[in-house]
Amino acid sequence: MKIGSEQTFKQGKSYALELPTCWPTTNDASELTLLAIESIFMQTRHQVFRIPEREHIVFLVSGGLDSIVGIEKVIRDWDVTVYPLFIRRHAKAEKYEEAAFDYFLKSYSERYPNNVARPAKVTSGIPPYQWKSHFSRDWVQRFGYPMRDFALVSLAVQYAVTLNSKLNTEIRTIFTGTTDGDVFPHSSLVALRVATLAACLDSSDWSWQITSPFVESVPEPMRKSDVILWANEQNIAVERTRTCVSDSEIADGTCLECRHRLAAFGEAGLTDPVEYNLGASNAC
Ligand SMILES: [Zn+2]
């Protein structure tokens, strides 16, 4: 398949994907998917991402550093009204994640009373609890739980639709805390574009966007280290965020999420103020 040429689909209908000639040619399936979906958005709505300035948005918040910092960023940059959503999904670290969510949302609500709506929590096993032990450790370490982020953002779209119905809002933007370079395929830019396409097709409404303020950052997407530097400038209490996925109160420092966070602090040239129990085994 060659990018920029006419594509013939199995249904027998021909479509011309009019991609700019400067776009790269590639055999990488992820890159092809990204180019194709972004081309569809350009043809249907003339933009890939719309800045939701002063709009109402749903922010999917895990209690981790990125989503917590992301709330501050979208309020400061775009003066949005945030509807924060926390999903109780039976994670090992859930009570610590939820404590971080509660702490920061209380703080943001006090500092930005006109920009933060009442935080919402919903319970949904993602993946269902009875299946968790059947995923191989190798799979989970390589890919995370199958389709996890797609399931989470699907719930966020459902929440937005209920808000639109109940409060007469017109929410079409779902934000996550995804950063450039996140480790799992379902946390990538192309995965966000795929989720956006699915949301648009689901309602025949091409104004939906499921994305992250960090991947849409101009001129370059923000890596986790960039987010840490920005949070440091804003004096955000990142020691109150919860990244470790273990069931220990003290972060183990050894799970993939801890290692990614520690590496990002190192890249930023800063010391992570979170306490780590570096003698613990990997309990994730
Ligand atoms: Zn950890």
* DSSP structure string for 238-279: GGGS----SS-SSB-S-SHHHHHHHHHHHHHT----S-B-TT
Tell me how far the alpha carbon of residue 197 lies from the centroid of ligand 1, in angstroms.
Answer: 33
CA distance 245 to 184: 15
Tell me the chain's radius of gyration from C-alpha atoms.
Answer: 19
Token output for 266: 């190192």
CA distance 257 to 148: 15
Question: Quick check: is 113 in a domain?
Answer: yes
Overall number of domains in the chain: 1
164: which residues sit within 8 A by CB, 6+ positions away? Answer: 170, 171
Tell me how far the alpha carbon of residue 260 lies from the centroid of ligand 1, in angstroms.
Answer: 9
Tell me how far the alpha carbon of residue 105 lies from the centroid of ligand 1, in angstroms.
Answer: 23
Question: Quick check: is 144 in a domain?
Answer: yes
Question: Quick check: is 209 in a domain?
Answer: yes
Question: Quick check: is 283 in a domain?
Answer: no
Location of structure tokens 């995923």: 135
CA distance 127 to 133: 10
- The amino acid present at 18, given as its one-letter code, is E
Per-residue model confidence as pLDDT tens digits over 102-126: 999 999 999 999 999 999 999 999 9
Please check the confidence at residue 15 and state whether its pLDDT lies above 50. Answer: no
Tell me how far the alpha carbon of residue 35 lies from the centroid of ligand 1, in angstroms.
Answer: 35
| DSSP 8-state assignment for residue 223 | B
| Arithmetic mean of pLDDT, 172-178 | 97
Tell me how far the alpha carbon of residue 265 lies from the centroid of ligand 1, in angstroms.
Answer: 15
Tell me how far the alpha carbon of residue 92 lies from the centroid of ligand 1, in angstroms.
Answer: 11
Tell me how far the alpha carbon of residue 249 lies from the centroid of ligand 1, in angstroms.
Answer: 10
CA distance 122 to 229: 31
Q: What is the CATH number of the domain that holds 127?
A: 3.40.50.620
Tell me how far the alpha carbon of residue 186 lies from the centroid of ligand 1, in angstroms.
Answer: 20
Q: What is the dihedral of CA 116, 117, 123, 124, to 10 degrees?
A: -80
Question: Quick check: is 99 in a domain?
Answer: yes
Tell me how far the alpha carbon of residue 59 lies from the centroid of ligand 1, in angstroms.
Answer: 24
Per-residue model confidence as pLDDT tens digits over 212-269: 999 998 889 999 999 999 999 999 999 999 999 999 999 999 998 999 999 999 999 9
DSSP helix/strand/coil, 119: coil
How far is C-alpha 236 from the chain's CA centre?
19
Tell me how far the alpha carbon of residue 281 lies from the centroid of ligand 1, in angstroms.
Answer: 10
Question: Quick check: is 274 in a domain?
Answer: no
User: What count of Cα atoms within 13 Å lies in the side-chain half-sphere of residue 138?
Assistant: 0
Of residues 96 and 139, more confidently modeled: 96
Token output for 183: 């480790």
Token output for 76: 């400061």
Location of structure tokens 């993939």: 256
Tell me how far the alpha carbon of residue 255 lies from the centroid of ligand 1, in angstroms.
Answer: 4
CA distance 182 to 67: 13
Question: Quick check: is 66 in a domain?
Answer: yes
Name the residues around ion ligand 1, CB cutoff 5 A.
Answer: 244, 246, 252, 255, 258
Tell me how far the alpha carbon of residue 273 lies from the centroid of ligand 1, in angstroms.
Answer: 14
Q: Which domain holds residue 124?
A: 47-237
Tell me how far the alpha carbon of residue 93 lies from the centroid of ligand 1, in angstroms.
Answer: 9
| Arithmetic mean of pLDDT, 3-21 | 45
Question: Quick check: is 187 in a domain?
Answer: yes
Q: Which phi and psi angles does 259 have, rounded to 5°?
A: -65, -40
CB 150 within 8 A of CB 178: no
Does this model's pTM top 0.85? My answer is yes
CA distance 34 to 57: 24
